[in-house]
Amino acid sequence: MILAMDTSGGTVVGWRDATSGRTAGYLSENPRGHAETIGPAIAQVLHEAEVTPQQISVVAVGMGPGPFTGLRIGIAAARAFALGRGVSVTALASHDAIALAWYLAGGEGELLVATDARRRERFWTRYSGLDADGLPVVVAGPALAPATELPAAAHAVVDEPISPDTLTELARRAVAAGRVGPAQPVYLRSPDVTLSPAKGVTG
Amino acid sequence: MTWALRRATAADVPDIMAIEHASFPTDAWSEELMLAEVTGPNCEYFVAVAQDDFANPQAPIAGYAGLLVAGEQADLQTIAVREDLRGRGIGRLLAGHVLARAQQRGAREIFLEVRADNPVAEGLYTDLGFTRIAVRRNYYQPDGVDAHVMQRPLTEGSPTLVQTAGKAEPLVLGIETSCDETGVGIVRGSTLLANAVASSMDEHARFGGVVPEIAARAHVEAIESTIAKALGDAQVSLDDLDAIAVTAGPGLGGALMVGVAAAKALSIATGKPLYAVNHLAGHVAADIIADGALQLPAVALLVSGGHTSLLLVRDLAGDIELLGETIDDAAGEAFDKVARLLGLGYPGGPAIDRMADQGDPSAIRFPRGLSKGDDLRRHRYDFSFSGLKTAVARWVENRQAAGLEIPVADVAAGFREAVADVLTAKAIMACQDHGITRMLLAGGVAANARVRNLLAERCAAAGVDLVVPPLSLCTDNGAMIAALGARLVQAGNAPSGLDFGADSSLPVTTVQMP
Amino acid sequence: MTELQETVLLEQTADTPEALAGIGRQLAASLRAGDLLVLTGPLGAGKTTFTRGLAEGLNVRGTVSSPTFVIARTHPSLVGGPDLIHVDAYRLPGPAELDDLGLDYQASVTVVEWGDGYLDGVAESRLEVLIERPLGLGGDLDPMLEEEADPDETIVEPRQVRIVGWGPRWAEQS
């Protein structure tokens, strides 16, 4: 069973039983308050799915792009949940979920996905379609651009929220194909920091 | 079967009502009334659960009792045990705890009413030291049964608080991300098992101070491995834990949120109860690890880069009073800014120390803020270091303008002396004013030898016992948060919910967020 | 780029810290959720003192102290009004880092110490509060030479306060 979450925009948590196709989900479009909502969101989804945490074998999370403040909440939660279950985290590109929804709904051809990046800018990724594994093919991006200077594309989906069901479906396809998503959070704004490895403090 | 007690919450009311109706078929309280009692500010309600089930919020309730304290009088509002579990000492456990709690809260006598047709209950109360003092005819309606009013004085010799209220030595994992450190620690009661810290301190040195967004990003990267390291060091598994504790505030909002999110997810994934706690109370809890148990009441002097406060701690699990705090800069911040002024690098505390050790602390006298006249009157336990900082700046500028050399060692020594002097003087004054003979030192600046030594000197002279945690527990760390969580579990506090957020200005009077 | 309209709202001398806080307290009455303030002045000018008065006027929880270490501190309103976000940009490398804090400007009054340039583009209007210590006063006070001066006495120096509004919000105000 798959538990997926994404806080690159609002708060999205989804569950899916890959065998039966049953799903459950939580979506809040509020771009704030992720730290408050992520706990009840995960609990509610598991409750609605009528499953225990022990039954979750895949933990997936959207790695962005997204405004850093919200994005880190989902990533921290997913990593901790995965640690609690003894599984590794499956990384997903947040825009891929939006693209997948569009193509699954019958969309064809080139697609530009754009989401809010604050400061009157947008994150964008350009796609050409789905590949043999049913995963969106990235042609350009993700990148950051002023809202008024987005690249041209045949079709565009702007500020569309991620749906829990599409997120878990994306996770299912990615795991089935053995595909690895972005290893690091996609912030697209510097600076980055390297950490000294955790050390035990004696005494 | 061992029974444990914890504070009742609104979520317990339905189960309580089931017992209420079964125990008092003709005059049960309404659910509205019970809810008001349980959640109201004037009463404390306790429920008994099987000790092994203590961590489970859905564990069946074996019994409950309510306490009301008004000044020096207390009332045992109600007490009931599930019918199939009577005769096992649960009632006695609940009643004894209520008595001890009433006494702890300052009541000198406690009253209760019992039905005249319940000799078993009245026998229990007589055993516990109550005597019948009055009869209220036809008190219980519609039955028309008399009420026997009973009273017991609360003096020395009252039962001590039930030791099994909450588990005696809970195994707790604490997560701390309020600033630049990602800290995860594990304690068993007051025993330290692990203290793992991932520090981005080196990176911060480049920026001359804490740069929070870098810190918050670093937390996201570090949180998993730091949790894993702590578990490895303590040689326990997540499944062994009794509870998880996390700093909810105060601190840097963005950094706090990472720990909060991780702790919530970990709590759900493992089924362990979660306690959202106050960072300042956490610093005081570091002294539990040092001292084995906190002897209270005590005055706590908390000094760090972000905080300088004097606290009166009566009960770490829920009774901390803020006596005073800085009205401008924190002491640690003053060290950082003056170090930068003197060109001494970051972090400022150790840099100032190295210089000051070679200087004469009495060569230059810098101002002790809020120590005289009107200032002292209006801000007796408050601190102010901004004036000190600008006095040092002005002194140095004047020297430079006059073309004179700057005696950096003497300036550092004089500055350090001013800080140590005012911190220790006010802390001792707080003890003496309140008749308290125990002082706890906490926070990163506790690592400063001059502050520590001067405080030890003055405490000894004033007859005050001083507790200082080991240096590794003075700076922000997860072990102190774990120790605080353990204390809350022991006190029988109900776990926090899942919807609390990070609170960058959480007041110290809120030890645990609901 | 259109020039923002400048409106001078106040030019006043505050003789004591209390008076400086008082200016902040009075200003609070004109503020509402979404307002941004940039505080500029040298080290020790009284930016935090001014903010303390502002907090009192807004009726928010908690003691206002220097947020240099915590960078940003949110004081919730006690009266259902806007929260106060108190920011110290002293250690932020640039506006992008301020933005990354994800502060809820719309629901709050936001005060940024050392914030010159950090709030550009965040909103249409903002207030600038400039606090200066007039030159020469107290400049030659040397604790080591002044034998009679009590070193612990707080030196009270007047401050020059100038409040300027930028943008349409403040043009309407006056």
C-contacting residues in B 112-171 (Cβ below 8 Å): none
Q: In what order do the strands lie in the sheet with C72-75?
A: C6-14, C159-166, C126-132, C36-40, C108-113, C83-88, C72-75
Return the minimum-mean-pLDDT range out of A55-59, B84-88, B155-159, C154-158.
B155-159
Greater confidence, C62 or B202?
C62
* C92 closest CA partner among C60, C114, C125, C123: C114
Task: Find the helix or strand (DSSP H, E) in which B360 lies.
Answer: none
What letter represents residue B56's amino acid?
Answer: N
Q: Where are the alpha helices (DSSP H) in C46-127?
A: 47-58, 95-100
pLDDT at C43 over 80: no
Could you tell me how many CB contacts below 8 A there are between chain A and chain B?
A: 155
**Residue C2: predicted pLDDT:** 55
Whether residue A198 is contained in a domain is answered as: no
Out of A48-52, A164-168, B373-377, C8-12, the most confident range is A164-168
C11 exposure class (CB count in 10 Å sphere: 0-12, 13-18, 19+): exposed
pLDDT tens, residue by residue, C87-120 = 998 877 777 778 777 788 889 999 999 888 888 7
Using only the alpha carbons of chain C, give its radius of gyration. 17
What ipTM describes this predicted complex? 0.93
* A181 closest CA partner among A59, A93, A95: A93
Nearest-CA distance from A69 to chain C in Å?
6
Q: Which domain holds residue A34?
A: 2-177
pLDDT at B49 over 80: yes
**Average pLDDT, integer, range B51-77:** 86
Whether residue C143 is contained in a domain is answered as: no
| Equal CATH topology for B3-153 and B171-295+474-513 | no
- What are the domain boundaries of chain B? 3-153, 171-295+474-513, 308-469
Nearest-CA distance from B321 to chain C in Å?
14
8 Å CB contact between B250 and B511: no
**Residue A203: predicted pLDDT:** 26
**Residue C144: predicted pLDDT:** 45
> B296: which residues sit within 8 A by CB, 6+ positions away?
B313, B314, B315, B316, B438
**Residue C137: predicted pLDDT:** 42
Out of B66-75, B96-105, B127-136, B422-431, the most confident range is B422-431
Please provide the DSSP assignment of B241-283 as one string: -SEEEEEEESS-HHHHHHHHHHHHHHHHHHT--EEEEEHHHHH
Query: CB contact, 8 Å: B146 with chain A?
Result: no
Structure tokens belonging to residue B88: 């096992």
**Residue C96: predicted pLDDT:** 73
Q: Of C93, C102, C104, which has the smallest distance from its Cβ to A70's Cβ?
A: C102
Q: Minimal Cα distance from B182: which residue of A?
A: A198
**Residue A190: predicted pLDDT:** 60
- Partnered with residue B95 across adjacent β-strands are none
d(CA A37, CA B201): 31
Whether residue C62 is contained in a domain is answered as: yes
Average pLDDT value for chain B: 88
Task: Find the helix or strand (DSSP H, E) in which C94 lies.
Answer: none
d(CA B310, CA B397): 33
- For residue C139, name the pLDDT band (cuts at 50, 70, 90): very low
Q: Is the dihedral of CA B226, B231, B237, B241 positive or negative?
A: negative
Whether residue C173 is contained in a domain is answered as: no
CB contacts of A69 in chain C (<8 Å) are: 100-102
> B150: which residues sit within 8 A by CB, 6+ positions away?
B111, B112, B113, B114, B122, B125, B126, B130, B131, B132, B133
8 Å CB contact between B318 and B459: no
Please provide the DSSP assignment of B275-339 as one string: EEEEHHHHHHHHHHHHHSS--SSEEEEEE-SS-EEEEEEEETTTEEEEEEEBSS--HHHHHHHHH
Asked if A76 and B269 come within 8 Å (Cβ–Cβ), the reply is: no
**Residue B296: predicted pLDDT:** 85
Whether residue C5 is contained in a domain is answered as: no
Asked if B366 and C143 come within 8 Å (Cβ–Cβ), the reply is: yes
**Residue C147: predicted pLDDT:** 47
d(CA A7, CA A28): 10
pLDDT at B52 over 80: no
Query: CB contact, 8 Å: B393 with chain A?
Result: no
Whether residue C75 is contained in a domain is answered as: yes
Greater confidence, B323 or C134?
B323
Q: Minimal Cα distance from A75: which residue of B?
A: B220
pLDDT tens, residue by residue, B253-264 = 888 999 999 999
8 Å CB contact between B178 and B476: yes
Structure tokens belonging to residue B110: 């406690």
Q: Which domain holds residue C27?
A: 14-134+155-161
pLDDT tens, residue by residue, B333-382 = 899 889 988 988 877 888 999 999 999 999 999 999 999 988 899 999 99
* C36 closest CA partner among C107, C101, C111, C99: C111
**Residue A188: predicted pLDDT:** 83
Split into its structural domains, chain C has a count of 1
For B24, the 3-state DSSP assignment is coil
d(CA B317, CA B275): 11
What letter represents residue B208's amino acid?
Answer: G
**Residue B214: predicted pLDDT:** 56
Greater confidence, B63 or B154?
B63
Q: Of C96, C100, C121, which has the smallest distance from its Cβ to A69's Cβ?
A: C100
d(CA B305, CA B339): 13
Token look-up 């299912």 returns A172
* A191 closest CA partner among C91, C94, B295, B355: C94
Asked if B213 and A83 come within 8 Å (Cβ–Cβ), the reply is: no
Asked if A43 and B260 come within 8 Å (Cβ–Cβ), the reply is: no
pLDDT at A4 over 90: yes
Greater confidence, B475 or B200?
B475
d(CA B282, CA B485): 9
8 Å CB contact between B249 and B278: yes
DSSP state of B387: H
- For residue B206, name the pLDDT band (cuts at 50, 70, 90): very low
Whether residue A189 is contained in a domain is answered as: no
**Residue B348: predicted pLDDT:** 86
**Residue B472: predicted pLDDT:** 87
Task: Find the helix or strand (DSSP H, E) in which C108 lies.
Answer: strand C108-113
**Residue B209: predicted pLDDT:** 52
The topology under which CATH files domain B3-153 is Aminopeptidase (3.40.630)
pLDDT tens, residue by residue, B298-315 = 999 999 888 999 999 998
CATH code of the region B308-469: 3.30.420.40
Q: Minimal Cα distance from C44: which residue of B?
A: B390
- Give the phi and the psi of residue C20 in degrees, each rounded to 5: -65, -45
Task: Find the helix or strand (DSSP H, E) in which A119 lies.
Answer: none
pLDDT at B158 over 50: no
**Average pLDDT, integer, range B268-291:** 92
**Residue C103: predicted pLDDT:** 85
Query: CB contact, 8 Å: B123 with chain A?
Result: no
CATH code of the region B171-295+474-513: 3.30.420.40
Split into its structural domains, chain A has a count of 1
> C139: which residues sit within 8 A by CB, 6+ positions away?
B394, B398
8 Å CB contact between A111 and A125: no
Could you tell me how many CB contacts below 8 A there are between chain B and chain C?
A: 122
Nearest-CA distance from C120 to chain B in Å?
19
Task: Find the helix or strand (DSSP H, E) in which C117 lies.
Answer: none
- Strand B191-199 relative to strand B243-249: parallel, antiparallel, unpaired? unpaired
pLDDT at B157 over 60: no
**Average pLDDT, integer, range B131-157:** 87
Using only the alpha carbons of chain B, give its radius of gyration. 26
Structure tokens belonging to residue B413: 């020594």
**Residue B436: predicted pLDDT:** 94
- Give the phi and the psi of residue A87 in degrees, each rounded to 5: -120, 165
Q: What is the CATH number of the domain that holds A107?
A: 3.30.420.40
Asked if A34 and B257 come within 8 Å (Cβ–Cβ), the reply is: yes
**Average pLDDT, integer, range B33-46:** 89
d(CA A195, CA A183): 16
- Strand A121-130 relative to strand A136-146: parallel, antiparallel, unpaired? antiparallel
Q: What is the CATH number of the domain that holds C22?
A: 3.40.50.300
C-alpha distances out from residue B403 to A146, B364, B398, B399, Å: 52, 18, 9, 6
CB contacts of B215 in chain C (<8 Å) are: none
B-contacting residues in A 72-91 (Cβ below 8 Å): 72-85
Query: CB contact, 8 Å: A183 with chain B?
Result: no
- For residue B167, name the pLDDT band (cuts at 50, 70, 90): low
pLDDT tens, residue by residue, A62-73 = 999 998 889 999
* B249 closest CA partner among A171, A111, C74: C74
* End-to-end C-alpha distance for chain C, whole angstroms: 24
**Residue B240: predicted pLDDT:** 92
Longest dimension (CA), chain A: 63
Query: CB contact, 8 Å: C152 with chain A?
Result: no
> B378: which residues sit within 8 A by CB, 6+ positions away?
none
**Average pLDDT, integer, range B2-23:** 89
- For residue B433, name the pLDDT band (cuts at 50, 70, 90): very high
- Strand B191-199 relative to strand B181-188: parallel, antiparallel, unpaired? antiparallel
Please provide the DSSP assignment of B121-158 as one string: HHHHHHHTT-EEEEEEEEEETTTTEEEEEEEEE--TTP
**Residue B55: predicted pLDDT:** 66
* End-to-end C-alpha distance for chain B, whole angstroms: 30
